[in-house]
Amino acid sequence: MNAKGLARSVKDDLARHWRHLAAGGTGIAVSVAALVFFLSLGLGIRDTLLGEVFRTERFDVLREGADLNLLAIKLELGKDTLSDTDVTGLESLDGVAAVYPKMRLLVPAVASGGESILGAGMQTELVADGVDPALLADEIGEPFHDPQLDPALAGRPCGEGIPCADGAVCVGASALGPGECREVIPVVVSNHVVELYNGGFRRAYRLPKINPNALTGLGAEVAFGASSLRRTADRVHRHRAELVGTSDAAIPLGITMPLGFVRRLNAELGPPGASDGFHSAVIELEPGADGAAVMEAVEALGLTVRDDGARRAAFLSAAALAGVGLVGATVLAISAVHVMHVFALLVMIRRREIGVMRAVGASRAHIRTLILAESAVVGLVAGVAGLAVAGGLTAAADAALTARLPDFPFKPESFFSFEPRLAAVALGLAAAACVLGALAPALRAASADPATVIAGD
Amino acid sequence: MDDICVICGDSDELRVRCGSVVQTSARPGGYNPRVIRIEGLTKRYPESERDVLKGIDLEVGAGDFVSLVGRSGCGKTTMLNVLGGLDEGWKGVVEVAGQRLDTLADRDLARFRRRTVGFVFQAYHLLEHLSCSENVALASRFGGGGDGRSRAREVLDLVGLAAAADRRPTRLSGGERQRVALARALFNQPQLLLLDEPTGNLDTATGGEIIELLVELHADLGLTMLAATHDDAIEAAGGRRIRMVGGTLSEDGAQV
């Protein structure tokens, strides 16, 4: 059958039987709409789970040291840190794009400030760690860098009329005496910290709610080596810390600083060996790398992968998607049966017409092709209609969910992921369901003997 | 618009008709003038206990106008269906225009119906959702290239219905519908025209007009025609009369 003839015949037949075909296609459209709606919801939630809550393209690696429980105290046996050699070993694994070591600040610290945004000064003990600035290069970029000041300039006295060199600020100057020139430390906090603050903390202390997008530039004075809880060493480094952004890669509770700075502080003010080991490292996988295989290789090095539920989340989201897909496929299959009934009816109605076509030169293959092409067009049109309905529903549901649901940790900007690939698959499934539904009627129509059909008219 | 030429003829001569001009010439040597050859054709319907065609032998030459007569149920339509490649499940040898029908696969049989034979049914069997020209050109949808509109208008003109090209068959009289059906049968310049009671649904006057048209087409185009009929006028118009009785054939009272 030539393409032009097929197109003309399909167009004629669709125009004549559109009511029947619309009835058959409606089920397919509804099925596609439901399938796309729930799959895009599932994909959206999966993206949030795996991309934000449990990141699988990056995962943490640490060394678990053996502990001995002595009543309420755990006695540490063996080291629980990663060495530079461990980091090099991790970098050499197949599928690993980069390794970003993290180091805890092993020096007590007290931060004070916040008047500009909170209306009152606050002082708090500080938990901090250091990460490789490259880890936050995409999120924060250049502002998060190691602010290594020339050692000759660092610690110089400063104050009224005694400025510091470029890149340094005067810290601790007062009427009682001069301050010290110190570098400004870029700091990143976790989104979780902001959510915790805006959730209960600010209410307990009657503080204003803060806008996380406006926090950049917020500064505080930090005294490293000092503590309000216990006596500390005599040496205290005072610095100015400025918030340069928020990131989920930051320590969940505390501040995150550039690794080099933390390492120098640990070396200078911390206990012996404080700057030798990393408490963990973030492994970034190459695109398309087998995460499970890399995890196995990491474990073979005697290290531990901090799962954080990522594997379970991945499995659960995959299972949920498969479940939604199965339900959608079942509904599509039921719709395909409906399509089969519609086409069986149409073939019966068009029995004489098909006989005439055969008499003037249509082969069985022509008849099969004609009916299956009609069903494919019905499927595609129904699929497009279903996609349009699904698009409207997802937009409406997304707007409602985003507006009505209160803020919560990892609340996504959109609950749905309406991917072009999903739309293409849905269209293909719609056409396939219609073609499959019409297959039996098409075969029956094609097998009819034209002489018998015409004689029976 | 260029005329499409039709080549036909009989055992003695070839006729070429281009538009209204007909040229005649002697046949070249070695040409087989036989359009139909049937040997031992037997057909029994699955639900039947007797053969509807009983070992029929027949030969029809190119350009013959043969009328096939006989009582209802004697097998005339079945024989036309076999010759037109519409029927299956028969035994014997059936050769039309040099093609052995029992050897043709479905696709080849479809091409045979499209190109070699034209079929006119008693009940017209026009598709009501298509215009007359679309009905006429229906075969072009299944092969041959082009949309066939110009050819459809040409054959509609041949049967005197050029003005009805864009009308639906439902708006035509019975005689006009049969003319459209005839135009559809002539669309692909067939070598054999099979007519199954072409005047069976028409009154005498209208039937007479169709017969006149058939006679004219036969004379002008030299078409080989086989018409199953009860109509005495067609019998009279045909140059050769074959009678079918109980699934067997006789010509002028004798077995062919």
Mutation target among B72, B78, B86 for the A interface, most CBs of A within 10 A = B86
Tokens matching residue B1: 């618009």
The number of C-alpha atoms within 13 Å of B112 and in the hemisphere containing its C-beta is 23
User: CB contact, 8 Å: A20 with chain B?
Assistant: no
The number of C-alpha atoms within 13 Å of A9 and in the hemisphere containing its C-beta is 30
Residues in chain A closer than 8 A to B140 (CB atoms): 5
pLDDT (tens, 9 = 90+) of chain A, 457 residues, equals 677 888 888 888 888 888 888 888 899 999 999 999 988 988 888 777 766 676 667 888 998 876 677 767 766 666 788 999 999 999 999 989 999 999 999 998 988 887 776 667 778 888 899 999 999 888 888 888 888 777 777 778 888 778 887 778 888 777 778 888 888 889 999 888 888 888 878 888 777 787 877 778 888 888 888 887 776 666 788 888 888 988 888 888 889 999 999 999 899 888 888 888 899 999 998 876 777 678 888 888 888 888 666 667 767 777 888 888 888 888 889 999 989 999 999 999 899 999 999 999 999 999 999 999 999 999 999 999 999 999 999 999 999 988 888 877 777 888 888 888 889 999 999 999 999 999 999 999 998 888 887 776 5
Contact status, residue A181 vs residue A165, Cβ threshold 8 Å: yes
> Can you tell me the distance from the alpha carbon of B174 to that of B203, in angstroms, rounded to the nearest whole number?
9
Q: B145 vs chain A: nearest CA distance in angstroms?
A: 7
Contact status, residue B53 vs residue B75, Cβ threshold 8 Å: yes
Q: Which residue of A has its CA nearest to B118?
A: A360
> Can you tell me the distance from the alpha carbon of B196 to that of B185, in angstroms, rounded to the nearest whole number?
12
Mutation target among B142, B151, B187, B195 for the A interface, most CBs of A within 10 A = B142
- At residue A375, the pLDDT reads 93
- Whether residues A356 and B127 touch (CB distance < 8 A) is answered with yes
- At residue A2, the pLDDT reads 76
Q: With a cut of 0.90, is the ipTM above it?
A: no
Q: B24 vs chain A: nearest CA distance in angstroms?
A: 30
pTM of the predicted protein model = 0.63
- Whether residues A451 and B115 touch (CB distance < 8 A) is answered with no
- Whether residues A1 and B142 touch (CB distance < 8 A) is answered with yes
Out of B115, B138, B144, name the one closest to residue A357 (CB): B138
Residues in chain A closer than 8 A to B81 (CB atoms): 451, 455
> Which stretches of A159-236 are assigned E, i.e. beta strand?
168-171, 179-189, 219-224
Q: Name the DSSP class of B130.
A: S
> Can you tell me the distance from the alpha carbon of A4 to that of B147, in angstroms, rounded to the nearest whole number?
8
Q: In Å, what is the CA distance from A179 to each residue of A157, A174, A341?
A: 5, 7, 88
The residue behind tokens 């069985």 is: A364
